[in-house]
Amino acid sequence: MQPNIAILAGGISSRMKKPAPISPALDPSLVRDAERKSKAMIGVGGGYRPFLDYVLHNIECAGYKSVVIIVGEMDTSIREYYEHNSATLFQKLNISYAVQKIPPGRVKPMGAADALLEGLKAMPGWKGQHFTACNCDNLYSVHALRVLLEDTHDNAMIDYDRSALQFDQARFAQFSVIQKNAQGFLENIIEKPSLDEIARAADARGRIGVSMNIFRFTYDQIMPFLEKVPIHQIRQEKELPTAVTLMVAKHPRSMFTIPLSEHVPDLSSQSDIVEVQNFLRVAYPDFHLKGS
């Protein structure tokens, strides 16, 4: 059990920067955060703590030790914040950083698979080991993080029950659904699925499994597929689910799916801010009083 985790925070938060209908409950300072900062650094928590504090809190509580945060080349807020507060925040975590650059001729980075590739290049000591990879804008539970950390398969992912996720139908349409065999091994991840594809992904009980982009990998198994994953024709990015499906196609039964039924707060757009604030206020009532 190697307590390693990579956090993907190298995007330019383009969805978050798009204006949304302003809720009367939304603090104007958070709108400014959304327009100027990485979404992980928006101060949605008590005492204006950034969202990433809660992600790292759960990671620390789950038992991880070595963390690499993949940041964008134009963003210094994440590294400055955690280096400035290193004496008081997350002292059980050894936090490193990797930079995902924007290639010449592009206005944004090359996607999550490229971000993870840069993260692994920065952590050569992880070769031959396992590590978890997750988004910076989803608040995965301590339980989900710990289940992955303790899993004994070469590779594993959380298979979220779609019916337990508290999102509207428009948001559900954006989520990837998963197909797996009778033994629980991944066969395919379908992004932006059609209604027919969603129906076909349901199991015998009608349960639909959703990927929220949290995986446990063996460094040496996923690395070749991160290096050769193609650019998506429409979204023009190298996507992590594509790398995973390439690995599974070449190595069947290489990715185990772990069923879990719980909500995952998502901070993708300005319209999510108030909902996430309300969730944190209830779930972490005293967190702003603590160092970590």
Query: How many separate domains does the chain show?
Result: 1
Q: 13 vs 42, 136, 175, 247, CA distance in Å?
A: 11, 11, 18, 28
Residue 292 lies in a domain: no
Helix axes 219-228, 112-121, angle to 10 degrees: 130
Average pLDDT by consecutive 10-residue portion of the chain (292 residues)? 94 74 79 88 94 97 98 91 91 96 89 96 97 97 98 97 89 87 95 86 90 97 97 88 97 98 94 93 83 60
Residue 203 lies in a domain: yes
Q: 69 vs 11, 28, 227, 242, CA distance in Å?
A: 12, 28, 19, 21
Residue 82 lies in a domain: yes
Q: Specify the pLDDT at position 274.
A: 92
Residue 125 lies in a domain: yes
Q: Specify the pLDDT at position 148.
A: 98
Residue 13 lies in a domain: yes
Q: Specify the pLDDT at position 290.
A: 63
Q: Which two tokens stand for residue 55?
A: 């992600």
**pTM (whole model) above 0.85:** yes
Residue 41 lies in a domain: yes
What's the domain range around 12?
4-287
Q: Specify the pLDDT at position 37.
A: 87
Strands, E assignment, 113-242? 130-135, 156-161, 176-180, 186-190, 209-211, 215-218
Rounded Cα–Cα distance for residues 16 and 276 (Å): 13
**Residue labelled with tokens 């990879």:** 133
CATH code of the domain covering residue 84 = 3.90.550.10
Burial 141-155 (b: 16+ CB within 10 A, else e): beebbbbbbebebbb
Burial (Cβ within 10 Å: 0-12, 13-18, ≥19) of residue 9? buried
Burial (Cβ within 10 Å: 0-12, 13-18, ≥19) of residue 196? exposed
Strand pairing report for 94-100 and 130-135: unpaired
